[in-house]
Chain A
Amino acid sequence: MNQEQFQTTSSGLFTGYDTGGFFDEMFDSSGPRAHYAKLAKTLGNLSAKEFRARCELADITLINQGITFTVYGDNKGVEKPFPVDLVPRVLPSDEWAFLERGLAQRVRALNLFLHDVYHEGKILKDGVVPRDLIVNAPNYRRSFVGADVPGDIYVHICGTDLIRDYDGTYRVLEDNCRTPSGVSYMLENRIILMRVFPSLFGENRVRPIDHYTTQLLHNLRQLAPAGRDEPNVVLLTPGVYNSAYFEHSFLAQQMGIELVEGRDLFVEDNIVFMKTTRGPQRVDVIYRRVDDDFLDPLVFRPDSALGVAGLVNAHRAGNVSLTNGIGTGVADDKAVYPYVPAMIRYYLDQDPILEQVETFMGWKSNDLDYMCDHAHELVLKATNESGGYGMLIGPQASKSEIADFVTTVRANPRGFIGQPLISLSRSPCFFDEGFEGRHVDLRPYILCGKDDVTIVPGGLTRVALRKGSYVVNSSQGGGSKDTWVLAGEIPSEMQQSQSQSSSSQIQNQLGQIQTQQVEVGQ
C-alpha cells in the first residue's frame, strides 16, 4: 500500500471513486489512464439506473443461456450464474505484446522441463531443481517415464495466472498445466458485453478473441497419430455434475467435436473407440478434462468410473493423443513454481521476461522458520491444492487460525510454500449505486501447437467481488470481466485493401443485385 489513497478527478458516475491505495487498472492519481480514457468518459456519463438496466439485460442473457457453474457443498441449488461485471478490463497493445512474449517463453520452458523430467532428468542431475522434490511430487507420474508424446509437447493448453502488485508490475502467480478452465467465460463475457454495451466497441478498437476455438481445434488435429488424415477429435468430460461442465459442452459445440464421457469409450488392441449408433468409431485425439487420477482405472485410481480402461496404454502405443499430456501436474506444482525462472535460464538460456512472486519453500529449513514466524504477514499455500482451497491469508486470519495452520505446515513442510501478500491491483466494478474497486487477476490461455505458441489477446480477468477479498476463484465468490487488448496501429497496406473493398467493389455489385427485388412488392 505504498501509493497514496486518492479519489478520482473524474466526473459523472465515477465521482468519488476511491482507489483505496491500490494500483488501479483504470485510474492513476491524475485521472483515467490513457487506454481507459474513452471508457471512463462513456461509462461515467451513464446514470446508475441506466447501468443497472444493462446489468439486468446481462443477467437475463446469462440465465437464459444457462451460463452457470456448480458450487460443491452448496445445498441451495447446484448451479449458479457466473457473475459478470460489465466494466471491461483494458490492456494497451504494448503491454500485451510484453506479456505475450513472457508467457510464450514460460510455457516453452515448462514443456522442455516436462520432457526432461520424464526422460533423462538433466535438470535434476545438474541440481537446478531438487530431485526428491520432483520424484515425490504427488502429480509426478512414474509410470509415464520414458513415454514419448507428439512433438514433445506436454502442455498444449496452459492457463497462467498473472497479478499486478502495488506499482502495477505483472507477476506470475501460478501456471495451470493440467486442465485449466475458464476460457468459455472469457469468450462468453465478450459476447455478453457486445450485446449489452455495443457502443463501447465502436469507440475502442478491441482485438477479437473468437478464433480461440478455431486455433484450438487446429492444434488438436495436428496431434493425430500418423496416417490419420481426418482425425476424430473428442472432448472427454467427467459429466454433467462436473463444475466446469458448461465449459466442456461449450467448447465441444464451438469446435464441432463430440463430447464424450468415459462410458462412451472403450479400448481394444490399444486403440480407442467410441460407441456410436453405427458401431465403434476410432478416436484419435482426446481433449480430456478429466484429471490424471481418474483417466484410466488400470493405471491410476482403480475406483474411477470417469475414465477408460486401457486408455493410457493406447496413448503410450501412440494410437491416441491426449491433451494435456499425462503427468503435467508436476510442472504447475506450487513447489516447482519457485524454480521456473531457473528453468527458463537452463533450457532457453534467456532471462525470464515475467516476474514471479517471492516464494518461501517449506522444505528449506530457513524458509520454513521464516514462514512459521511470519505467518501473520504471509499467504501460506498447500502445494497440491488449487481453486483457493488449502490456504491461509495471514493478515486476514485470526490468531488461532494461524496457530492451527502453522502446526499443519510443521507436520508436512514439503507440502507448503509461503508468499508475501501481494496487494493485487483493483479495477472498478459496478454495484447498485456506482463503481467500487475490486481486486483482479488475469488468466491468459496459451496454446502450444506443433509449430508455434499462440495466445488470443487477453484472457479471463477474474475479480474478487466480495469487498476486501483477494480470492478470485469462482468457487469462492469470484466473478469475471471482459478483457480487452486494444489494437495497435493498422498497417497501411491493410487499410488500403479495406477501403477498396468497401466502395468500388460493392458499387460494381449493385447493378446485378437490384433487379431481384422486383417481385417483392406483391
Chain B
Amino acid sequence: MLSRHADASFWIGRYVERAEATARMIDVHYHFGLESPLVGDAMRWSSILAISGQEDLYRKRGYAEDERSILQFFAFDEENSSSIYSCIRLARENGRSIRDQISSEMWKSLNQMYLRFQDWNVDRVLDGSPFAFFETVKEGSQLFQGITNRTLMMGEARDFHDAGRFLERADQTARILDVKYHDLLPTFANAPEKKELPKVVADAGSIGGPVDVHGWIAVLKSVGAFEAFRKTYHQGVTPARVAQFLLLNPQFPASVRHSIGRIDGCLRRISGNRDVAPVNSAECEVGRLYNDLNYMQAGDIITGGLHEFLEDVEDRCTAIGDAIYRTYLSY
C-alpha cells in the first residue's frame, strides 16, 4: 500500500485512541476530585497538566488553573494539537484522505463523531453533565473501533491502524501511571534514594481515610481497569500491584505489555516475517520492549525505580513511533 495511506491509517488509530484516553483521564480526575474532599482543586488540575506534558502551552495560552480552563484546553482548544477536538478533527482529516481505502461505515463514523462534537462547547459541558460529554467521546471512539474491526479487511491498512491505536494506548497508560505515582506518593518522590515502593497502602488501618487508595483506584478507573484489577488481585489496592497490573498484565487490553504485544503482531503481519529475528528497526524496537515486558518481574521494576522504568517505556514508545515512521510511513 502507499506509504501515505499507511501513514493516515496509523494516525487515525492514534488520534481516535488519544481522544478516548484524554476523555477518560479528565473524566476520572474530575470525579476523583469530587469524591475526595481532601484533594484540592489545584492538585486535580495540575496533575492532569502533568500527565499531558503540555503545561508550557497551557501557560502560553494564558489559562488559569480552574475547571473551566482545563476543560477548554483539553477538550476544545484548536491550538492544542492533543485536545479532544483536535484529535477528532485530525482523525477525520486523515480518514478523508483515504476515504477510498477505508470502509464507508468507518468514514461515516469518523464524520459523525466530528459533527456531533460541534454541538458541544465548554458552557454546555459545565451547565449540564461533564459525564455525559465524556461518555459521548468514549462511545464515539468505541463505535469507530468496533466498526473498524467489523468492516476493514484484515490487511495492511488494518495493521497500521491497530499499531497506531496500541502504541497510543501503551504510551497513555505509562504516562498516567508515571504522573499519578508522583502525585500520590509525594514523600517517596521527595526521597528518591529510597527506591522501594511502600508495600501496602490499602491495609485495614488505612482504608477509608487516605487519599492514596482513592487515587490509585482513580488511576485504574481512568484506563477502565478497576474491575479487571479486582478480579486479578483480591488482596487490595497497592501502588506496586497497580503498577504491575497496568504494565505487565498479559491479558488486560490496556496494559503496556498487551499493547506492545499487539503492535508486534501487527508489524510482523505487515512484513510477513516469521523468523524470530526482526527484519527492520521497527520490529527490533517493538520486539525488544515486548521481550523485556514478558520476562520482567514486578520486583525488578520496583527495585530499579518505577519512575525510571516508566520514563524508559515512554522513550521507547517514542522510538517505536519513529522507527515505524522511518521504515514504512515516510513519503
- Establish whether residues B204 and A487, one from each chain, have CB atoms under 8 Å apart when the complex forms: no
Report which residue of B33, B34, B214 has the largest number of chain A beta carbons within 10 angstroms of its beta carbon: B34
Whether a CB of chain B sits under 8 angstroms from the CB of A151 is no
With A and B bound together, what is the CA distance between A515 and B227 in angstroms?
Answer: 33
Known interface pairs A452-B204, A505-B183; A194-B31 also in contact (CB < 8 Å): yes
Which residues on the B side are within 8 Å of A456 (C-beta)?
Answer: 208
Known interface pairs A490-B38, A521-B81; A501-B171 also in contact (CB < 8 Å): no
Known interface pairs A214-B213, A230-B234, A516-B315; A195-B37 also in contact (CB < 8 Å): no
Which residues on the B side are within 8 Å of A215 (C-beta)?
Answer: 204, 207-208
Give the Cβ gap from A323 to chain B, nearest Cβ, in Å. Answer: 15
- Establish whether residues A208 and B50, one from each chain, have CB atoms under 8 Å apart when the complex forms: no
- Establish whether residues B129 and A57, one from each chain, have CB atoms under 8 Å apart when the complex forms: yes
- Establish whether residues B53 and A516, one from each chain, have CB atoms under 8 Å apart when the complex forms: yes
| Chain B 61-96 interface 0/1 with A at a Cβ cutoff of 8 Å (1 = within) | 000000100000000000001100000001000000
Whether a CB of chain B sits under 8 angstroms from the CB of A500 is yes
| Chain B 9-47 interface 0/1 with A at a Cβ cutoff of 8 Å (1 = within) | 001000000000000000000110111111111110011
Which residues on the B side are within 8 Å of A520 (C-beta)?
Answer: 81-82
Known interface pairs A53-B128, A196-B129, A514-B53; A256-B227 also in contact (CB < 8 Å): yes
Whether a CB of chain B sits under 8 angstroms from the CB of A438 is no
- Establish whether residues B132 and A57, one from each chain, have CB atoms under 8 Å apart when the complex forms: yes
With A and B bound together, what is the CA distance between A211 and B33 in angstroms?
Answer: 15
Whether a CB of chain A sits under 8 angstroms from the CB of B322 is yes
- Establish whether residues B34 and A201, one from each chain, have CB atoms under 8 Å apart when the complex forms: yes
Whether a CB of chain A sits under 8 angstroms from the CB of B143 is no
- Establish whether residues B230 and A211, one from each chain, have CB atoms under 8 Å apart when the complex forms: no
With A and B bound together, what is the CA distance between A451 and B179 in angstroms?
Answer: 35
Which residues on the A side are within 8 Å of B82 (C-beta)?
Answer: 517, 520
Give the Cβ gap from B161 to chain A, nearest Cβ, in Å. Answer: 15
Report which residue of A201, A215, A253, A522 has the largest number of chain B beta carbons within 10 angstroms of its beta carbon: A522
Whether a CB of chain B sits under 8 angstroms from the CB of A257 is yes
- Establish whether residues A256 and B128, one from each chain, have CB atoms under 8 Å apart when the complex forms: no
With A and B bound together, what is the CA distance between A247 and B318 in angstroms?
Answer: 44
Whether a CB of chain A sits under 8 angstroms from the CB of B236 is yes
Whether a CB of chain A sits under 8 angstroms from the CB of B108 is no
Whether a CB of chain A sits under 8 angstroms from the CB of B237 is yes
With A and B bound together, what is the CA distance between A233 and B311 in angstroms?
Answer: 38
With A and B bound together, what is the CA distance between A53 and B127 in angstroms?
Answer: 11
With A and B bound together, what is the CA distance between A291 and B187 in angstroms?
Answer: 48
Which residues on the B side are within 8 Å of A253 (C-beta)?
Answer: 227, 230
- Establish whether residues A211 and B213, one from each chain, have CB atoms under 8 Å apart when the complex forms: yes
Which residues on the A side are within 8 Å of B285 (C-beta)?
Answer: none
- Establish whether residues A214 and B207, one from each chain, have CB atoms under 8 Å apart when the complex forms: yes
Whether a CB of chain A sits under 8 angstroms from the CB of B54 is yes
Give the Cβ gap from B109 to chain A, nearest Cβ, in Å. Answer: 21
Whether a CB of chain B sits under 8 angstroms from the CB of A152 is no
Whether a CB of chain B sits under 8 angstroms from the CB of A282 is no
Known interface pairs A198-B30, A256-B227; A208-B214 also in contact (CB < 8 Å): yes
Closest to B45 in A: A502
Which residues on the B side are within 8 Å of A452 (C-beta)?
Answer: 204
Whether a CB of chain B sits under 8 angstroms from the CB of A207 is yes
Within 8 A of B (CB), among A195-240: 195-196, 198, 201-202, 205-208, 210-211, 214-215, 217-218, 221, 230-231, 233
Whether a CB of chain B sits under 8 angstroms from the CB of A255 is yes
- Establish whether residues A210 and B81, one from each chain, have CB atoms under 8 Å apart when the complex forms: no
Give the Cβ gap from A95 to chain B, nearest Cβ, in Å. Answer: 17
Which residues on the B side are within 8 Å of A411 (C-beta)?
Answer: none
Which residues on the B side are within 8 Å of A190 (C-beta)?
Answer: 35
Which residues on the A side are within 8 Å of B318 (C-beta)?
Answer: 516, 518-519
Within 8 A of A (CB), among B230-274: 230-237
Q: A501 is contacted by which of B132, B178, B186, B236 (Cβ under 8 Å)?
A: B186
Known interface pairs A255-B230, A505-B182; A513-B202 also in contact (CB < 8 Å): no
Which residues on the A side are within 8 Å of B36 (C-beta)?
Answer: 208
Whether a CB of chain B sits under 8 angstroms from the CB of A449 is yes
Whether a CB of chain A sits under 8 angstroms from the CB of B55 is yes
Q: A498 is contacted by which of B33, B39, B51 (Cβ under 8 Å)?
A: B39
Known interface pairs A57-B132, A521-B81; A509-B37 also in contact (CB < 8 Å): no
Q: A506 is contacted by which of B35, B182, B235 (Cβ under 8 Å)?
A: B182
Give the Cβ gap from B88 to chain A, nearest Cβ, in Å. Answer: 14
With A and B bound together, what is the CA distance between A55 and B231 in angstroms?
Answer: 33
Which residues on the B side are within 8 Å of A398 (C-beta)?
Answer: none
| Chain A 471-489 interface 0/1 with B at a Cβ cutoff of 8 Å (1 = within) | 0000000000000000100
With A and B bound together, what is the CA distance between A487 and B233 in angstroms?
Answer: 30
Give the Cβ gap from A481 to chain B, nearest Cβ, in Å. Answer: 17
With A and B bound together, what is the CA distance between A233 and B230 in angstroms?
Answer: 12
Whether a CB of chain A sits under 8 angstroms from the CB of B229 is yes
Whether a CB of chain A sits under 8 angstroms from the CB of B175 is yes
Q: B37 is contacted by which of A198, A207, A451 (Cβ under 8 Å)?
A: A207
Q: List 23 A–B pairs whose Cβ atoms lie within 8 Å, in order of A's numbering.
A: A202-B41, A206-B34, A210-B214, A210-B217, A214-B213, A231-B234, A255-B230, A255-B234, A454-B208, A498-B40, A498-B211, A499-B40, A501-B182, A502-B40, A502-B47, A503-B46, A506-B47, A506-B179, A510-B50, A513-B314, A516-B53, A519-B318, A519-B325
Chain A residues within CB distance 8 Å of chain B = 53-54, 57, 190, 194-196, 198, 201-202, 205-208, 210-211, 214-215, 217-218, 221, 230-231, 233, 253-257, 449, 451-452, 454, 456, 487, 490, 494, 497-503, 505-506, 508-510, 512-522
Give 10 closest A-B pairs by Cβ, nearest first: A256-B230, A501-B186, A205-B37, A201-B34, A513-B53, A256-B231, A502-B43, A195-B131, A487-B37, A506-B50
A53-B128, A514-B55 given; 17 more Cβ-contact pairs under 8 Å: A195-B31, A201-B33, A202-B41, A202-B67, A208-B36, A210-B214, A214-B207, A214-B213, A231-B234, A498-B40, A503-B46, A506-B183, A509-B178, A512-B311, A513-B175, A513-B314, A517-B54
